[in-house]
Amino acid sequence: MTVTDQQPPADDPEARTPATDPAADPAAGPAKDAARAALHDRIAADSLTTRRDYLRIVATVSGGLAVGGVAVASGVLHRHGDSEGAPEPKKVTEELPPGESIAFRYPGDEDRAVAVRLADGTLVGYSAVCTHLACAVLWRKERGEEGELYCPCHEGVFDARTGEVTAGPPPRPLPKVLLTEELDGSVWAVGTTRSGESVRDGLCRQFLDERPEMAARLRCPGAAEPEPRTERGRAT
């Protein structure tokens, strides 16, 4: 499903997919909480999370990041990455085939975001709020070599792989939404980045206080030394 394919619900003029509509989310309620807790634990727990998980999180994210335009800079709009703490992981969709995208909200219920699976399988996520004047950014897979993110308000265009501005008036690239893919193919949003912030720095900022073991393993500034592991992957 693409952003432009989605039918807006009657109570919301913007695109929202069944996977992100709380009323239609199959993981809603206690099941959702359990799934969220399980994923959070899986990401964070020393015995279950390996460096490979970190690398996978980082590898599934590409592109630049930024705060938005005038409205964002003046504080009228919530910026992606404003939160100091780690946002709760959120299931974006059960699966995302190559060339497709899906609109969702993250980290807050008002924060428009978009996830895209590029033709080569790369998974990318961005704020869907244009950094010019905050119009909704859409995915156009038929444009360019691997599609593009497009803002129809003033013909703004962003690189699908990096989020960098390639045309039009947007002053900065799109902020990123950090995505990871589970073994069952489901796609989860696990964090965001700020303007000028690397993926690692974004993860460090969000994990330093709430997930110190994660911060330690990423060797974040200010984090404790990571504990040594035994052959079975458990800290001694």
Return the number of other C-beta atoms located less than 10 Å from residue 62's C-beta.
19
User: Quick one: 170 or 175, whose CB is closer to ligand FES?
Assistant: 170
- B/e letters for 36-47, b = 16+ CB within 10 Å, e = fewer, are beebbeebbebe
181 DSSP β-pair partners: 187
Please, which residue, 170 or 173, has the CB nearer to ligand FES? Answer: 170
Distance from C-alpha of 63 to C-alpha of 40, rounded to nearest angstrom: 24
CB of 168 to ligand FES, least distance (A): 5
Shortest spacing between CB 138 and ligand FES, in angstroms: 10
Q: What's the min distance (Å) between Cβ of 167 and ligand FES? A: 9
Q: How far is the CB of 134 from ligand FES (least distance, A)?
A: 6
CB closer to ligand FES, 48 vs 70: 70
Q: In terms of CB distance, is 89 or 156 closer to ligand FES?
A: 156
Nearer to ligand FES, 37 or 76 (CB): 76
The residue count for the chain = 236
Tokens linked to 36:
């969220």
User: How far is 58 from 51, CA to CA, in rounded Å?
Assistant: 11
The minimum distance between CB 3 and ligand FES, in angstroms, equals 14
In whole angstroms, the minimum distance from the beta carbon of 131 to ligand FES comes to 7
Cβ distance to ligand FES smaller for residue 73 or 133? 133
Binding site for ligand FES (CB under 6 A): 130, 132-133, 135, 151, 153-154, 156, 168-170
